[in-house]
Amino acid sequence: MNQFRRYSGKATLSAVVVGAMLAAAACGGASSTAPADTGKTPPAALAAAMDKVVQSGIPGIQVVIDGPGGHRVYTAGTGDLSTGAPMPADGRVRIGSNTKSFVAVVVLQLVAEGKVELDAPIERYLPGVVTGNGSDGNRVTVRQLLQHTSGLPDYLGGGPNQENKPGQLTLDNEAQFWQQFEAADLVRTVLAAQPPIFEPGAKMVYTNTNYLLLGMLVDRVAGRPVAEEISRRILEPLGLRDTYFPPAGETVIRGPHARGYEIVNGKQLDLTDYNPSWAGAAGAMVATPADLNRFFTALLAGKLLAPAQLAEMQRTTSFDRMPSATYGLGLVHLPASCGKEVWGHGGSIPGFGTRNGVAADGTAVTVTVNRLGDDEKTSEIVAAAVDAAFCGA
């Protein structure tokens, strides 16, 4: 769901850094697929779905459910291929594009405060930034950035069956894996090299550049870095102590966490530690599944946004990456097979994938895997586990 684009092309470590995967291979050394951690047995449909995820080659999966039934944690597979240890209960993970929902909430709070207008051009807040090769900040609105209808090119290269394009970040040497990137530089480079991919507002194409720009907007309008605004406006009020935006140069995940893996040339590589600055406001944050459940539950309950702004966030359009879902302003609407209406986001980043949401009955689910699915079939297997958590738990 709404993850960073995955790369095609040569199988190198650098390709995997930005999300490339080759053919799936069964992971060796995995522990039993029997669910663990809580001492409770998950519902049969969920247990079977989790088992299929591990059988697909993903080392481990964890399902964290909160709501009317209390707090439940179910784990299968392994969180560390070197030791066989399970994924730690509520361990921290890189949450990828779930970061976008946090950024969107801050922007919409600024809207409520009269500091930002949704339908104002981004040029008003970031003069001279969206320019070059046909891009025009006077024609791209804040709303279009939030909903991925801006038409701006993606600063991250590649995608299924796609070629990398000029100006895109490809991380083509291992040193860049640890490099500190700045959002302004990434945006400037891609806009100088590529024209818009469509007219602003014409359609929806999920593009990470949009959220780098929104992070820059928050920096400028709030007068503080977007990471500080997320902490001040969301994390501290909700008591999300295990969620954070990594500071410049931080490469490790704090606290208990599983190892994250990807497959390159048939070998499973550990991609737990790296500098996520290239993801920035589009996907750099770290959290626990329990914190993600609390965040999205609070958001949908109106604890973070006034009714007018939450309604705007839930005004959706088609979603190019998931035809069964629709996309709002940093928020995804996805019906479950049992009829539940689920709101969330989800995200993927090298080493980790999260799929999550909250249903109208108050059930919140976050599913974490410690290797990205490398094809559509694997993604569907993970999605089935999410559905089973909502419909069978």
Q: Domain map of the chain by residue range? A: 13-392
pLDDT digits (tens, 9 = 90+) for 377-391: 788 999 999 999 999
Give the helix/strand (H/E) hosting 369: strand 364-369
Token readout for 91 is 């361990």
Say what the pLDDT of residue 165 is: 86
pLDDT digits (tens, 9 = 90+) for 131-147: 999 999 999 999 999 99
Say what the pLDDT of residue 164 is: 78
Closest C-alpha among 328, 336, 292 to residue 310: 328
* Residue 22: Cβ within 10 Å count: 18
Average predicted confidence (pLDDT) for the chain:
88
- In single-letter form, the type of residue at position 268 comes to Q
Backbone angles phi, psi at 60, to 5 degrees: -150, 160
- Helix and strand tally (H, E) in the chain? 11, 15
Cα end-to-end distance, the chain, whole Å: 21
2 or 370, which is more confident: 370
Mean pLDDT, to the nearest integer, of 326-342? 96
Predicted confidence (pLDDT) at residue 14 exceeds the cutoff of 50: no
Q: How many angstroms separate the CA atoms of 12 and 280, rounded?
A: 23
Q: Which of 97, 150, 348, 379 is catalytic?
A: 97
277 is catalytic: no
pLDDT digits (tens, 9 = 90+) for 227-256: 999 999 999 999 999 999 999 999 999 999
Say what the pLDDT of residue 167 is: 92
pLDDT digits (tens, 9 = 90+) for 191-205: 999 999 999 999 999
Write out the DSSP string of 32-77: --S-BSSSSPPPHHHHHHHHHHHHTT-SEEEEEEESTT--EEEEEE
pLDDT digits (tens, 9 = 90+) for 16-71: 333 322 222 223 333 333 444 454 788 999 999 999 999 999 999 999 999 998 99
Token look-up 């602003």 returns: 200
Say what the pLDDT of residue 374 is: 58
- Range 13-392 has CATH code 3.40.50.720: no
36 touches 89 (CB < 8 A): no
60 touches 351 (CB < 8 A): no
Give SS3 for 264: strand
Residue 261: band (very low, low, confident or very high) from pLDDT cuts 50, 70, 90: very high
Closest C-alpha among 114, 124, 125 to residue 306: 114
Say what the pLDDT of residue 41 is: 84
**HEC-encoded secondary structure of 197-250:** CCCCCCCCCCCCHHHHHHHHHHHHHHCCCHHHHHHHHHHHHHCCCCCECCCCCC
Percent of the chain predicted with pLDDT > 70: 86
Q: How many angstroms separate the CA atoms of 313 and 327, rounded?
A: 9
pTM of the model: 0.91
Give the helix/strand (H/E) hosting 342: strand 341-344
Residue 265: band (very low, low, confident or very high) from pLDDT cuts 50, 70, 90: low
Q: How many angstroms separate the CA atoms of 279 and 116, rounded?
A: 24
Residue 267: band (very low, low, confident or very high) from pLDDT cuts 50, 70, 90: confident
65 touches 42 (CB < 8 A): no
Say what the pLDDT of residue 51 is: 97
Say what the pLDDT of residue 272 is: 95
DSSP, res 151: -
Please report the sign of the dihedral spanned by the C-alpha atoms of residue 212, residue 214, residue 215, residue 220.
Answer: positive
Say what the pLDDT of residue 12 is: 35
Say what the pLDDT of residue 372 is: 80
393 vs 30, 41, 52, 342, 363, CA distance in Å?
25, 11, 17, 14, 9
Q: How many angstroms separate the CA atoms of 118 and 359, rounded?
A: 27
Residues in a beta bridge with 199 = none
268 or 208, which is more confident: 208
Write out the DSSP string of 99-129: HHHHHHHHHHHHHHTTS--TTSBGGGTSTTT
